Amino acid sequence: MKVSPLLFSCRACLGTLLLAAALLGCPPDDKKSPAPTASGACEKVGQSCEFSPGKLGTCVQKDDCKSGNCFVCQSQH
């Protein structure tokens, strides 16, 4: 079976690209996630917090809060 030169060229290019992608991979993530705050230390909505030891949470605003600290850590699960 005779393979056309164009088909061989495309296969070679594809193989080279796949090899390069496998060897180089993805660049490291430069953005560091902020560490969760201690329980009860929420300062703004959406902030990561530690709901209980080893369990992550998200800071939310209490309903009908008029004064003081209106943010609490809510479990993500």
Structural domain for 51, as ranges: 36-77
Domain count, the chain: 1
- Measured in degrees and rounded to the nearest 5, phi and psi for residue 57 equal -140, 180
pTM over 0.75: no
- pLDDT tens for residues 60-77? 998 988 888 889 999 987
Domain assignment present for residue 21? The answer is: no
> Which tokens hold the place of 59?
């800071």
Domain assignment present for residue 43? The answer is: yes
Query: End-to-end CA distance of the chain, in Å?
Result: 60
- pLDDT tens for residues 2-36? 656 655 576 765 667 666 666 677 666 665 555 65
59 vs 8 pLDDT, higher one: 59
> Does pLDDT of 50 surpass 60?
yes
Domain assignment present for residue 71? The answer is: yes
pLDDT for the residue 60: 93
